[in-house]
């Protein structure tokens, strides 16, 4: 199977990389780019968080690169050593096995046996194009003999719009390690404008927010996520880079430790998430 799978339907075109975390690395409509993608599309240039729709597990930061579940301590990769955190995990770089593929959809699966998270699970991802754009589904199944904690997010990177509307509700205050502390606080005046429409292109944007809804708008592009996503993360690498990341997340940042919003799958249990993007 090709390392890059090209989908086309109804004016939409997408490129999916099963060998790079099943990332939809490119999405466009009639020549108009929607996802932020490098000019040269190859696996080497795509191996970062700035392009397409990388899958994060666990998402964002886990303090101390460790957590306790049912009285047992588990370790994660310490890949933000200066701050003592685990950042984004490595699922975004995993090789998925393609199960089905045609001109408008592809389904692939990853069977994890501890390589990407210290629990056994299967993740099945389907990306499909329809008249109204891209839909993606993500189904996690706990293959362990014990319960499994689950926190999951997407690092969705869009071509920067002139107007972004995101239904955020409150903000998490972060400490010097970028870990949330205390209860979420009310939005300030600038953040309130994020809910009604603002230009995210030129000035720096970086924040962790609780969700106040499941639909964001980037100009005329809709980005709808399933209700299991209870957080929004916003980031643009300081602004002026041509992209903005609007990241849906299940569970608060560091919820493997704080337990805020953390899901737990019992043995054999599955949990499904979905998103849609289009005009």
User: What is the residue extent of each domain of the chain?
Assistant: 5-278
**Which tens digits make up the pLDDT trace of 143-169?**
999 999 999 999 999 999 999 999 999
Instruction: Over range 258-265, report the average pLDDT.
Output: 98
pLDDT given for residue 24 in this prediction: 96
pTM attached to this predicted model: 0.95
pLDDT given for residue 39 in this prediction: 77
pLDDT given for residue 46 in this prediction: 63
pLDDT band at 41 (very low <50, low <70, confident <90, very high): confident
28 alpha-carbon distance from chain centroid = 19
- Give the side-chain half-sphere CA count within 13 A for 75: 4
CA distance 247 to 207: 10
pLDDT at residue 22 is higher than 80: yes
The domain 5-278 is classified under which CATH number: 2.70.98.10, 3.40.1160.10, 1.10.3470.10, 1.20.59.10? Answer: 2.70.98.10
Instruction: Over range 254-272, report the average pLDDT.
Output: 98
Buried b (16+ CB within 10 A) or exposed e, 126-162: bbbbeeebbbbbbebbbbeeeebbbbbbbbbbbbbbe
More confident residue, 1 or 178: 178
CA distance 76 to 87: 9
Instruction: Over range 74-95, report the average pLDDT.
Output: 95
**Which tens digits make up the pLDDT trace of 163-216?**
999 999 999 999 999 999 999 999 999 999 999 999 999 899 999 999 999 999
Residue with tokens 């998270």: 117
Instruction: Over range 204-229, report the average pLDDT.
Output: 97
Residue 271 near residue 142, CB atoms below 8 Å? no
pLDDT at residue 49 is higher than 80: no
pLDDT given for residue 1 in this prediction: 44
CA distance 52 to 159: 10
């Amino acid at each position: 199977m090709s390392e890059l799978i090209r989908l086309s339907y109804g004016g939409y075109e997408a490129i999916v990389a099963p060998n790079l975390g099943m990332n939809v690395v490119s999405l466009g409509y009639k020549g108009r780019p929607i996802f932020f993608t490098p000019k040269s599309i190859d696996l080497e240039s795509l191996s970062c968080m700035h392009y397409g729709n990388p899958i994060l597990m666990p998402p964002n930061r886990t303090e101390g690169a460790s957590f306790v579940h049912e009285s047992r301590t588990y370790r994660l990769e310490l890949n933000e050593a200066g701050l003592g955190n685990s950042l984004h995990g490595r699922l975004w770089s995993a090789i998925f096995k393609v199960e089905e593929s045609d001109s408008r959809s592809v389904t692939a699966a990853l069977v994890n046996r501890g390589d990407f998270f210290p629990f056994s699970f299967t993740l099945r991802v389907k990306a499909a194009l329809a008249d109204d754009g891209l839909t993606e589904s993500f189904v996690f199944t706990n293959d362990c003999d014990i319960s499994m904690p689950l926190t999951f997010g997407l690092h969705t990177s869009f071509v920067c719009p002139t107007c972004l509307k995101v239904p955020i509700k409150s903000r998490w205050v972060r400490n010097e390690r970028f870990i949330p502390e205390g209860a979420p606080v009310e939005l300030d005046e600038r953040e309130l404008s994020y809910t009604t429409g603002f230009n995210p292109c030129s000035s720096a944007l970086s924040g962790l927010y609780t969700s106040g809804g499941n639909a964001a708008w980037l100009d005329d592009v809709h980005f709808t996520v399933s209700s299991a996503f209870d957080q929004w993360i916003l980031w643009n690498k300081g602004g002026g880079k041509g992209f903005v990341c609007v990241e849906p997340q299940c569970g608060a940042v560091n919820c493997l430790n704080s337990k805020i919003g953390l899901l737990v799958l019992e043995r054999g249990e599955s949990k499904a998430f979905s998103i849609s993007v289009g005009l």
